[in-house]
Amino acid sequence: MTKDWLEQHQRWLEWLEKTQPKAEIPAQIRDPRGVPFDLHLPAEIIDLIDFCTSQGLTCVRLLGPDPIAFGDLVLAYAGSGICVEIMKDRSIWLLSIGEVSQAGHVWPDVPLMMTLLTGSTCDLVPLREEISFVKSHWAEIVDYFSADQRAATRRAYA
């Protein structure tokens, strides 16, 4: 992932924050995971959301979908100091993981997490494999963002 892409991603998130209405979605149109019923999410994303909620994370951010911008969408699930961001950008699903205290910052995407945790270099990874990695390495990911590891983690992906 290039620094230019990360900067562009951050600018897009800032633009999305500014342009999306901040109105709260009424609870009656959300499912138990906190997701609006009308999002029509892919099965893989629903599986990840189910996993996040089973780990005690709750939906803390929902931006979109933006019908003008290709249905772009941002969902974030957070708890216990960690946050999983699920983003749809021009019909491409992207996952990133970070610490709650760094909310709004660009976090490592899952291929970078794979590199940081396993040492193997991964640039393009199918969504299903990214989700499988997150689920199978969840304890390591949580430890990676723990208070004890936070400074080293920030240095590793800076």
C-alpha–C-alpha distance, residues 23 and 21, integer Å? 6
Question: What's the confidence (pLDDT) of residue 137?
Answer: 93
Report the DSSP pairing between strands 82-89 and 58-66: unpaired
Q: Report yes or no: 151 and 144 within 8 Å, Cβ to Cβ.
A: no
90-110 pLDDT tens trace: 888 989 888 876 555 557 788
Show the tokens assigned to 24.
């709260």
Contacts 24+ apart (CB under 8 A), 105-114: 105/10, 106/6, 106/9, 106/10, 106/13, 107/83, 107/157, 108/157, 109/1, 110/134, 111/1, 112/1, 112/157, 113/137, 113/141, 113/144
29-86 pLDDT tens trace: 455 566 655 667 888 998 999 899 999 998 888 877 766 667 788 888 988 888 899 9
C-alpha–C-alpha distance, residues 149 and 158, integer Å? 14
Question: What's the confidence (pLDDT) of residue 28?
Answer: 40
Q: Is 89 helix (H, G, I), strand (E, B) or coil?
A: strand
Question: What's the confidence (pLDDT) of residue 135?
Answer: 96
Interacting residues of 147 by C-beta distance below 8 A, sequence separation 6+: 81
126-158 pLDDT tens trace: 889 999 999 999 999 898 888 787 777 777 766
Residue 81's closest CA among 101, 107, 54, 62?
101
What number of residues does the chain have?
Answer: 158
pTM above 0.75, yes or no: no
